[in-house]
Amino acid sequence: MERLYREARTTSARWRRTVVAAMVVAGFAAASTGALQAQQAPAAPAAEVKLWTSSAPADEGEKTPAGSLGPVTIVAARNGTFSGKVVADSSGPIRGLKGSVGDLTCDGATIPARCIQVRYAVPWEQRNWGWPSHPDILLESAPEAIQADARRTLAPVWVTVAVPKDARAGVYTGELVVEAEGLSATKVPVTLDVQDWTLPDSQAYRTWMDFVQSPDTLSLEYNVPLWSQKHWELIQRSFRLIRDTGSRVLYVPLICRTNFGNEQSMVRWIDKGNGTYDHDYTVMDRYFDTAEESMGKPKLVIFVVWDICQSKKSLTRSLWGGDTGKNTREAREELLGKGPRVTTLDPATGETGMAFLPRYEEPGGQALWRPVWAQIRKRMAARGLDDCMMLGILSDLWPDKDEVTSLNELTGGLAWVSHAHAGKLSDTNANNRILHGVADLGYAAHVYNLCYQVNPAKERLYGWRRGALVAHFPRGSDLNMSPNAEIRQLGAFNITGDQRGAGRLGADLWSVIRDRRGRRAGAAYERYPENKWRNLDIGSWFLAPGPDGAVATARYENLREGVQECEARIALEEALLAPSRRSLLGSDLADRCQKALDEHHRAMWKTVWSNDEDLARIGTAPSGRNPVEGLWQALAKDGKKLPGFWEGEARKMRSEEAAKGRQEWLTGGWQERTKKLFALAGEVSRKLNRKP
């Protein structure tokens, strides 16, 4: 695999796309040679297919016991998107799976079928360590044949409703019809319980979600040239999916071959000779246009101007041992002392290349970048985005003082963004001058030193209203493997702690580079080992490669619904925290709101821990990389005898606690708690907006 990466670094983009495309295995139903042969052989009689009802946060796996077939019940609010599902279950392949839903009706009101999506969950090609193990990819059309396991096939059929903003509150009913070979058309009742509350538009969400979109992954996956019309359509599709999480962060690389895997810079340099350049902003401008049309106005634009390979200390950080470390070291040694790399453009031929520019702190570097930054500022001001610009990306290694000073002068003092292991919650306070006393840190997504609140009776935290922008960076591939019920709480764990939400999440940054056997073996950034960040590389992805572009995953849908619940929490907490608003609510409504919030909070912790006594004894968990580690450390400090966190006994204990707690959460009224949050948010909204 490393040889493939080395070749990819030294060959043309067109060749790389051709090689990658040649290794793509066509179709999800034919993900292996065995599956292809099975399709070509005479079809055996279809095995019996059974249906049973599940719920959006449940994970279906080989050992999941079959349930009973009952109505698909969905709790919702206006202007949000919500799901339920049934599971097709068979001892053999499931062929010809199809579902359809008509209008949903409620006392003369209708949610039309065009607002309802039926999708089919299939597993990833690989389900080993670091990959989702349950049916996760949500396809708009079922494959001709689905076989998830040699002994049992589970194929969830998802029903997802985008509830209109003007929908009438009430209980809507309809039918899902499911059929397949071995299953006659079966009608399953669908119940949609719409509460009398309207979610804000996702543009106005206050739960922080920061997804990284990857143009290069899409180019490689679908074998389309960078910045071609088809490529822009694929980017637009990804942005539209990201939109509903509230993510409004754009990463705009001004340099080449960074840790995000971008082959090119979005500003292209046109060589005029004698060391002078004109500039082409077409790609950058269209990226902004596409993002705004698909998502809405960005909240933060991060211009990527620096990465590890530019540091004079690049051989001191983020190096693994063995062959990977050797390749990274060699790649960095080649670049020591060199300046930033940018994409060049020949306007006559359209051909692109790469050039090294002088380092930022050198006089020549300052002179070359000054007109670029003048144009960027002009363009950003025209879009009304000049107040949301920052520089990136800091990792565990920072630029030195001369570099920071030079970029501070060039950009007019823009703050920086850090995606790193360590950090403090106070790091992004105003006028912090953390970077060598010269520049501010404006946004930090870090792994360590996070703060969570376990028992709300002891204290309550409100991370969503922090002035400083600090987010949880869930390192590695944990979010690919985490249970849906836990992923659903990602936003809530942070906004009830001391973080604004989560950041440095992969959107369409799935593993796109394939090895010689056609297996997915690496992300787009693997092509550039000089800027690998070791275990800070983005290892998660919430979108998946569909036939015609990115599609959602089961994990994405649960994260989105969790964010919607966070917005209901915030609506209630905002009213309770403002004395003038709380007085308008009256004591009865205020007490009911706080009780529902605390009930939801306590239940949230059950998705990772089952022991009620442990959860009751801990207030704030002020350190740790995630809620479980924070709780573990707090319990140990409080005197509970626990094995070492990474010992086998501890791992077993955590796994068992989480499994028991999750089961209790899934069967203990999670939908009723969500319904109560939405209903109370509506009651509060009407009370506060009532005219005297």
Provide the mean pLDDT of the chain. 91
Q: What is the pLDDT of residues 637-688, one digit of tens each?
A: 999 999 999 999 999 999 999 999 999 999 999 999 999 999 999 999 999 9
Is the domain spanning 43-198 CATH 2.60.40.10? The answer is yes
Position 13 confidence tier, pLDDT thresholds 50, 70, 90? very low
User: From CA 682, how far away is CA 688, in angstroms rounded?
Assistant: 10
| Nearest CA-CA partner of 83 in 477, 481, 484 | 484
Token digits of residue 484: 């849906």
Q: What's the confidence (pLDDT) of residue 42?
A: 54
* Terminal-residue alpha carbon distance, the chain: 70
| Nearest CA-CA partner of 243 in 566, 659, 563 | 563
Mean pLDDT of 82-97: 96
Q: What is the pLDDT of residues 189-224, one digit of tens each?
A: 999 999 999 999 999 999 999 999 999 999 999 999
3-state secondary structure of 528: coil
Q: Contact 175/159 with Cβ under 8 angstroms?
A: no
The 10 Å CB-count burial string (b at 16+, else e) for 352-361 is beeeebbbbb
Position 11 confidence tier, pLDDT thresholds 50, 70, 90? very low
Q: What's the confidence (pLDDT) of residue 29?
A: 34
Token digits of residue 407: 């970029």
Partners of residue 276 on adjacent β-strands: 273
Q: Running DSSP on this structure, what letter comes out for residue 77?
A: E
C-alpha dihedral, 491 to 494 to 497 to 500, nearest 10°: -100
What percent of the chain is modeled with pLDDT above 70? 92
The answer, as to whether pTM is greater than 0.85, is: yes
Position 304 confidence tier, pLDDT thresholds 50, 70, 90? very high
Q: What's the confidence (pLDDT) of residue 150?
A: 73
Position 322 confidence tier, pLDDT thresholds 50, 70, 90? low
Token digits of residue 688: 């506060």
User: From CA 183, how far away is CA 393, in angstroms rounded?
Assistant: 53
What percent of the chain is modeled with pLDDT above 90? 85
Token digits of residue 370: 């000054």
Q: What is the pLDDT of residues 594-650, one digit of tens each?
A: 999 999 999 999 999 999 999 999 999 998 999 999 999 999 999 999 999 999 999
Where does CATH 2.60.40.10 sit in the chain?
43-198
Q: What is the pLDDT of residues 120-138, one digit of tens each?
A: 999 998 877 788 888 999 9
The kind and range of the H/E element at 686 are helix 670-689
Residues ≥6 apart with Cβ < 8 Å to 458: 618, 619, 620
User: From CA 409, how far away is CA 477, in angstroms rounded?
Assistant: 38
Partners of residue 343 on adjacent β-strands: 268, 354
Cα 631 to Cα 172, 573, 616, 645: the distances in Å are 41, 24, 11, 11
- Report how many helices (DSSP H) and strands (DSSP E) the chain contains, helices first: 19, 31
Token digits of residue 265: 């810079």
Q: What is the pLDDT of residues 472-522, one digit of tens each?
A: 999 999 999 999 999 999 999 999 999 999 999 999 999 999 999 999 999
DSSP 78-127: ET-EEEEEEEEEESS-EES-EEEE--EEETTEEE-GGGEEEEEEE--S--
Using the structure block, give the residue that is written with the tokens 């394939």: 514
Q: Looking at the predicted structure, is the pLDDT value of residue 8 above 60?
A: no
| Nearest CA-CA partner of 49 in 138, 162, 147, 115 | 147
Q: What's the confidence (pLDDT) of residue 385?
A: 97
Length in residues, the chain: 692
Q: What is the CA radius of gyration of the chain?
A: 26
Q: What is the pLDDT of residues 419-457, one digit of tens each?
A: 999 887 788 888 999 999 999 999 999 999 999 999 999
